[in-house]
């Protein structure tokens, strides 16, 4: 049983090693994507106004963006109420509903950082696409889901195979051969990272599988180009007060704007509750664009336990629930798959080479020959290997 489990663990690690290495390293980058984009493109990301400055109404800012770039129209608006970041605006060209672009706007001045940029060409967009889909859309999403499941299997089998190593996890044999040192490092990294590996593997697999199931189970074919209509922004500036009336203290974090084909405002945010494991978008309200009547509401304070658990997947997956400390731990944990893939491959190839060297040989039996005949045959016939 143990031998077969070891073989399964080895083959799974070899098969998925490169994919897990990419997923782990990109995940480490995504943990600090805000800090990285601020450092790389401060003129685009950072607002010129003070973080405490009063926000402009959404309506005039949307109109300003669309007037500056008339070939685009605004589809969604991500609001940052605290910190130094500008708001993020999501746009699509008039003739392509599936080409998403992003732009940054100072919420207190309405200053636009520059022309719309394809989402995948931003630092965050590029790493997200690689992390979740390997740039292969739904096929890639299925592949990464398989890698996540394999990662879980590797964690379970590794936990069983190296359970005795818990007793000596911090005792590495530095004075021994590189093979023993590599083996100890592999076991130590695996054992220490098991709790986070379970979190990464399960949440990643759940997200991708749930998304694919939802896509395949429903017809999501929309028009090639969504269209706008004249009064779609008529009541957008009433939304904050309307939301506050429904849920006092609600954090209005994102709004998806109505189209001629779907005349609703989709508002996503957080209800006020003291809980670190809550996403920024877990509670949402859908409003009729003309009447502002609520068509749908989802309040995390009143939903079932499973819905609250799923909402906690986002802070758990990215580690942003505990400030800098949790983000550093999660970032380091993202390197674990890379370390495990490299050290596991080295261990496997070393074992393979040693097994080949130690493979026993057996000599083909032949009739007794005269001394001179035997000496002549020794140069011709190599013993057959087992």
Cα 339 to Cα 170, 188, 342: the distances in Å are 17, 11, 5
- The pLDDT tens digits for 43-63 are 999 999 998 999 999 999 999
Residue 37 near residue 49, CB atoms below 8 Å: no
The CA–CA distances, whole Å, from 193 to 103, 246, 333 equal 37, 43, 6
Least confident of 34-43, 174-183, 189-198: 174-183
Q: What's 115's DSSP letter?
A: S
Q: Which helix (H) or strand (E) covers residue 298, if one does?
A: strand 294-298
Contact by Cβ (8 Å): 94, 225: yes
Query: What is the overall mean pLDDT for the chain?
Result: 85
| Residue 328 CB contacts under 8 Å (≥ 6 apart), including other chains | none
Q: So what's the pLDDT on residue 199?
A: 94
Distance CA(68)–CA(115), nearest Å, equals 9
Distance of alpha carbon 209 from alpha carbon 218, whole angstroms: 14
Q: Give the model's confidence band at 125: pLDDT under 50 very low, under 70 low, under 90 confident, else very high.
A: very high
pLDDT for residue 364 is more than 60? no
Query: Per residue in 291-336, pLDDT tens?
Result: 999 999 999 999 999 999 999 999 999 999 999 999 999 998 888 8
CA 240 to chain CA mean position, Å: 31
Q: Output the pLDDT for position 41.
A: 94
- Rounded distance between C-alpha atoms, residue 361 and residue 385, angstroms: 5
The string of DSSP codes covering 137-204 is: HHHHHHHHHHHHHHHHHHHHHHHHHTGGGGGGTT---TTS-HHHHHHHHHHHHHHHHHHHHHHHHHHH
Average pLDDT rounded to a whole number, residues 95-101: 92
CA distance 131 to 204: 10
252-267 pLDDT, tens digit per residue, is: 999 999 999 999 999 9
Tell me which residue has tokens 């658990």.
Answer: 309
pLDDT value at 170 more than 70: no
Please give the angle made by the CA atoms of 305, 307 and 310, to the nearest 5 degrees. Answer: 110
pLDDT score, position 318: 93
pLDDT tens figures, 142-165? 999 999 999 899 888 877 776 665
Sign of CA dihedral 264, 266, 272, 273: positive
H helices of the chain, where?
A: 2-31, 33-40, 42-45, 58-68, 123-133, 137-161, 178-217, 239-246, 305-318, 323-334, 336-358, 371-378
Q: HSE, CB side, 13 Å, CA atoms: give it for residue 144.
A: 30
- Please report the pLDDT score of residue 344 as a whole number: 74
pLDDT at 160: 78
Residues 195-219: what's their mean pLDDT? Answer: 90
């Amino acid at each position: 049983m143990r031998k077969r489990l070891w073989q399964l663990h080895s083959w799974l690690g070899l098969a998925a090693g490169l994919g897990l290495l990419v997923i782990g390293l990109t995940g480490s980058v995504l943990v600090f994507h805000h800090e990285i984009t601020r450092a790389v493109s401060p003129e685009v990301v950072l607002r010129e106004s003070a973080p405490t400055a009063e926000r402009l109404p959404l309506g005039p800012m949307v109109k300003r963006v669309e007037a500056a770039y008339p070939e685009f129209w605004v589809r969604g608006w991500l609001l940052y109420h605290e910190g130094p970041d500008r708001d993020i605006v999501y746009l699509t060209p008039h003739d392509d509903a599936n080409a998403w672009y992003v732009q940054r706007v100072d919420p207190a001045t309405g200053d636009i950082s520059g022309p719309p940029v394809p989402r995948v060409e931003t630092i965050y967009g590029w790493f997200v696409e690689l992390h979740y889909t390997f740039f292969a859309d739904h096929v890639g999403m299925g592949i990464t889901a398989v890698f996540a499941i394999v990662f879980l299997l590797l964690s379970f089998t590794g936990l069983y195979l190296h359970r005795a190593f818990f007793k000596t996890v911090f005792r590495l044999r530095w004075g021994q051969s590189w093979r023993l040192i590599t083996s100890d490092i592999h076991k130590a990294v695996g054992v220490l990272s098991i709790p986070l590996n379970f979190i990464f593997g399960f949440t990643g697999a759940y997200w991708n599988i749930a998304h694919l199931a939802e896509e395949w189970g429903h017809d999501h074919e929309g028009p090639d180009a969504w269209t706008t209509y004249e009064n779609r922004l008529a009541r957008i500036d009433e939304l904050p007060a309307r939301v506050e009336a429904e849920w006092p203290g609600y954090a209005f974090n994102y709004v998806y704007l109505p189209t001629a084909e779907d005349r609703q405002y989709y508002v996503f945010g957080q209800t006020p509750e003291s809980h670190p494991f809550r996403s920024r978008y877990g509670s949402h309200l859908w409003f009729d664009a003309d009447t502002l009547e609520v068509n749908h509401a989802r309040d995390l304070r009143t939903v079932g336990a499973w819905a609250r658990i799923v909402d906690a997947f986002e802070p758990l997956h990215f580690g942003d629930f505990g400030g800098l400390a949790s983000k550093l731990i999660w970032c380091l944990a993202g390197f674990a798959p890379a370390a495990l893939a490299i050290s596991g491959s080295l261990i496997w190839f070393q074992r393979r080479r040693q097994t080949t060297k130690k493979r026993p040989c057996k000599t083909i039996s032949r009739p007794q020959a005269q001394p001179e005949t035997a000496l002549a045959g020794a140069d011709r016939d190599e013993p057959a290997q087992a």
